[in-house]
Amino acid sequence: MSLLKGCCMCGSVKYEITGKPQLSFLCQCRQCQKITGSGHSAEFVVSEKAVSLSGELKSFEMKSDRGSTVSSQFCPTCGNPILKKSSGYPGLVFFHAATLETPELFSPEKAFWCSSGQPWDHVNPKLEMMQNA
């Protein structure tokens, strides 16, 4: 993946990313479950410098289990979550993989916060499982 493009459901927010993601993962923490309305989020991480974004984003700030401030950013028109930023990882952007134009390119490497996973949410057992990452 050298040029990634994505958008929200209504198309008001669009992004382009140059370069490859630094990490691709699933997260089963309770915050990600609530943000996505499912058992986990599917995300990839890139440098802020690699991102070109157009459109307005609204944000909701919360505290992570580790005490970092996390900003969940979403389209104010359709409500689609697009990305997150964390004070614990300055300069990085965490994009929701389902917003990619070509989501089939996403391939998670790890699963985080598996200790918070729901019994009905089955992730690939071949992934490296991090209980409290």
CA dihedral 62, 51, 108, 104 (to 10 degrees): 120
Q: What is the mean pLDDT of residues 109-118?
A: 90
Q: For the chain, what percent of residues have pLDDT higher than 70?
A: 97
pLDDT band at 1; cut points 50, 70, 90: very low
Q: Give the residue among 98, 122, 96, 103 at the shortest CA–CA distance from 111.
A: 122
Q: Which domains does the chain have, with CATH numbers?
A: 3-129 (2.170.150.70)
**pLDDT at 26 exceeding the cut of 90:** yes
**Residue-wise pLDDT tens digits, 48-80:** 999 999 999 999 998 887 788 999 999 999 999
